[in-house]
Amino acid sequence: MEFVRPEAVPPDGPDPIRLGISACLLGREVRYDGTHSRDRFLTDELGKWVVWVPGCPEVAIGLGTPRPAIRLERRDGATRLVQRDGAEDLTDRMREHAEARIEALRNAGISGYVLKNRSPTCGMERVKVWEEGGMPSRDGVGVFARVLMERMPHLPVEEEGRLNDPALRENFVARLFAYWRWRELLAAGASRPRLFDYHRRHKFLLMSREPAAVQELGRLLGTADASVDPADLAERYMDRFTRAMKTTPTRKKHTNVLQHVAGYLSDELDGGDRRELSETIHDYRTGLVPLVVPITLLRHHLRRIGQSYLEEQVYLRPHPHELMLLNRV
Ligand code: SF4
């Protein structure tokens, strides 16, 4: 398995977060026509922070480059991956490869996957499916992508096209880092104290996505009988956590969280600081400033005041600030 490390990370240093990726997005000329689909955000920005684990499933099953184009077709009610000239049905070969590859990726410790959109192999959604003798519908999922999402349902998975949207991009990267921390928890051994600690640190992040999930997950952990296996509890926790984190946060929800955090600090601030903070949150709510502005001000006050519960909140630093993702939402 190939690992592409960021240039800034020394070869003998610890690995940063690992991400699977459709190889054509890194600029590899593996598409059916011998071209690539290099994505600058992935290679030039996110690539400074992650180790890529690239793969091209079509090349991996022995189709050369260039190769005849393939597509999804509906045959007798089932979706099949076939060559356009009808020469070969590749569905079973691709599924077999996907099962083995995804097991290897799991063992390699990936924390997410970026897929090429619209591909009958890698596309995550809205892939064309050709109906018998008719027009294509856009309700397909690439064969490799489907197996990936079925076998690793908690893994953050996104398509490169959707990552052009700043809110989707920010949410995906926040999910990557949350999942990376989750893998660290599992590696240390799922236990009740570790689950409570994870939940405490991610409360405001969850609240900015789906406020109801904070209470639900707190109840799940708080009411679980001592006889419940912590590994089962962890699985149920991550099921619900994943669902909540798939919700892209809105300005209104962020505003609620910011006001909540400000409420914790209120007694420690003088009148002028309180007013400035309130005005900054208002400016964010009305779209005058991006999210990074009120968050930076909150972190400034926190550094001065010191409040351990807030300081450990992932919400206030969900990903490396050099990625500038909070500057664009
Ligand atoms: S979309 Fe997937 S299968 Fe197609 S060239 Fe890219 S990596 Fe290969």
Q: What percent of the chain has pLDDT over 90?
A: 89
- Contact, 245 vs 209, CB < 8 A? yes
Q: Give the Å distance between the CA of 207 and the centre of ligand 1.
A: 36
Mutate to test the pocket of ligand 1, among 25, 31, 160 (most ligand atoms within 8 A of CB): 31
Q: Bigger pLDDT: 250 or 76?
A: 250
pTM beyond 0.85: the answer is: yes
Tell me the HSE value of 36 on the side-chain side, using a 13 A CA sphere.
Answer: 13
Asked if the model's pLDDT at residue 9 lies above 80, the reply is no
Q: Bigger pLDDT: 295 or 7?
A: 295
pLDDT at 11: 66
Q: What number does the ligand 1 atom closest to the CA of 32 have?
A: 5
pLDDT at 134: 80
Task: For ligand 1, say whether the CB of 28 is within 6 Å of any of its atoms.
Answer: no
Q: Give the Å distance between the CA of 125 and the centre of ligand 1.
A: 15
Asked if the model's pLDDT at residue 27 lies above 90, the reply is yes
Secondary structure class of 273 (helix, strand, coil): helix
Task: For ligand 1, say whether the CB of 58 is within 6 Å of any of its atoms.
Answer: yes
Task: For ligand 1, say whether the CB of 170 is within 6 Å of any of its atoms.
Answer: no
Q: What number does the ligand 1 atom closest to the CA of 31 have?
A: 5
Confidence of residue 17 (pLDDT cuts 50, 70, 90): very high
Kindly report, residue by residue over 81-125, the tens digit of the pLDDT.
999 877 799 999 999 999 999 999 999 999 999 999 999 999 999
pLDDT at 10: 66
Asked if the model's pLDDT at residue 14 lies above 80, the reply is no
Kindly report, residue by residue over 123-145, the tens digit of the pLDDT.
999 999 999 878 899 999 999 99
Task: For ligand 1, say whether the CB of 121 is within 6 Å of any of its atoms.
Answer: yes
pLDDT at 242: 98
Kindly report, residue by residue over 62-92, the tens digit of the pLDDT.
999 999 999 999 998 899 999 987 779 999 9
- Contact, 24 vs 58, CB < 8 A? no
Q: What is the mean pLDDT of the chain?
A: 95
Q: What number does the ligand 1 atom closest to the CA of 30 have?
A: 5
